[in-house]
């Protein structure tokens, strides 16, 4: 379903840093420009349809960057990632949503971008709003929603899409308990339909509940790719609380 080979992503630490005169003459031969660092490097893995994968690592170790590559919203500087199916990304709280548009417009836009027909959208519109508990804010600009409500709307839409790959980045932590329970049930339904799931989480219970396999990232490197229990154990022993 997904093949990632030697993935590398480079970012600049400091937007203001300029390349030096000397750098200009060394042209493209330099491996890394000043101020740049590899947020992800030499990362390779294969994912089969229906696999549920938990991505673990401390803050800033490349987890979100990896999901963005799979979602196709970021291109690698090295290596390749191929995804043989559509992706429903739930990454970054407001990801893909337009702040000035209303909830209604955003739901229609996102669903439309993922290939749902007008008719299908109007069929499932009420269910999406109902799932999110967003009836009162349907005509409110998205930017005026509370952060929890933004996540609820985003999850409600994204989990309604027919895409075979679902990416969930740490958003479950934001919803209140009643909403999390609904999200868990929905994720379980999606897994039962043999969808592929990537879950970034710092919550071991969530990881164990949904994922069989884990990827442990540290310093942008893939330290361990294995059964979720082994991955959690290794992560915990590397970084005891």
Comparing C-alpha atoms, which of 110, 106, 103, 111 is closest to residue 138?
103
Q: Minimum distance between the CB of residue 180 and ligand ATP, rounded to whole angstroms?
A: 18
Q: Which member of 62, 89, 95, 164 binds ligand ATP (CB under 6 A)?
A: 62
Q: Is 63 in the site for ligand ATP (CB under 6 A)?
A: yes
Count of residues of this chain found to bind ligand ATP when the rule CB under 6 A is applied: 11
Choices 26-34, 58-66, 88-96, 183-191 (CB under 6 A): range interacting with ligand ATP: 58-66
Residue list 95-124, contact with ligand ATP (CB under 6 A): none
Residue 42 or 105: which CB sits closer to ligand ATP?
Answer: 42
CA angle 137, 172, 198 (to 5 degrees): 120
50 burial via Cβ count (<10 Å: 0-12, 13-18, 19+): middle
Q: From CA 173, how far away is CA 175, in angstroms rounded?
A: 6
Q: Which member of 57, 89, 95, 214 binds ligand ATP (CB under 6 A)?
A: 57
Q: Which member of 59, 119, 192, 241 binds ligand ATP (CB under 6 A)?
A: 59
3-class secondary structure, 53 = strand
> Torsions phi, psi of 194, nearest 5?
70, 30
CA angle 175, 180, 181 (to 5 degrees): 155
Q: Which member of 2, 4, 7, 39 binds ligand ATP (CB under 6 A)?
A: 39
Q: Which member of 2, 52, 61, 201 binds ligand ATP (CB under 6 A)?
A: 61
Per-position DSSP letters for 97-147, written without gaps between them: --TTSBHHHHHHHHHHHTT--HHHHHHHHHHHHHHHT-GGGTTSBGGGS-H
Q: Is 203 in the site for ligand ATP (CB under 6 A)?
A: no
Choices 46-54, 61-69, 112-120, 148-156 (CB under 6 A): range interacting with ligand ATP: 61-69
Residue 62 or 164: which CB sits closer to ligand ATP?
Answer: 62
98 burial via Cβ count (<10 Å: 0-12, 13-18, 19+): middle
Q: Minimum distance between the CB of residue 89 and ligand ATP, rounded to whole angstroms?
A: 14
Q: Which member of 34, 49, 60, 112 binds ligand ATP (CB under 6 A)?
A: 60
Residues that bind ligand ATP (CB under 6 A): 11-12, 39, 57, 59-65
């Amino acid at each position: 379903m997904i093949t990632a080979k030697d993935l590398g992503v480079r970012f600049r630490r400091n937007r203001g840093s300029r390349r030096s005169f000397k750098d200009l003459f060394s042209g493209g031969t330099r491996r890394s420009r000043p101020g740049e660092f590899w947020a992800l490097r030499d990362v390779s893995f294969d994912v089969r349809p229906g696999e549920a994968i938990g991505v673990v690592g401390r803050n800033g170790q490349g987890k979100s960057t990896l999901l963005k590559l799979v979602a196709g919203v970021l291109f690698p500087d090295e290596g390749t990632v191929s995804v043989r199916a559509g992706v429903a990304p739930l990454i970054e709280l407001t990801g893909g949503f337009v702040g000035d548009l209303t909830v209604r417009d955003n739901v229609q836009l996102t669903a439309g971008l993922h290939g749902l027909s007008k008719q299908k959208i109007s069929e499932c519109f009420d269910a999406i709003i109902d799932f999110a508990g967003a009836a009162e804010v349907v005509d409110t600009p998205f930017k005026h929603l509370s952060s929890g409500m933004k996540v609820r709307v985003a999850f409600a839409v994204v989990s309604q899409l027919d895409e075979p790959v679902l990416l969930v980045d740490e958003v479950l932590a934001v919803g209140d308990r009643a909403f999390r329970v609904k999200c868990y049930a929905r994720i379980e339904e999606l897994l039962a339909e043999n969808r592929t799931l990537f879950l970034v989480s710092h919550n071991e219970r969530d990881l164990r509940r949904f994922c069989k396999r884990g990827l442990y990232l540290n310093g942008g490197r893939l330290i361990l790719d294995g059964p979720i229990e082994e991955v959690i154990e290794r992560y915990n022993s590397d970084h005891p609380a």
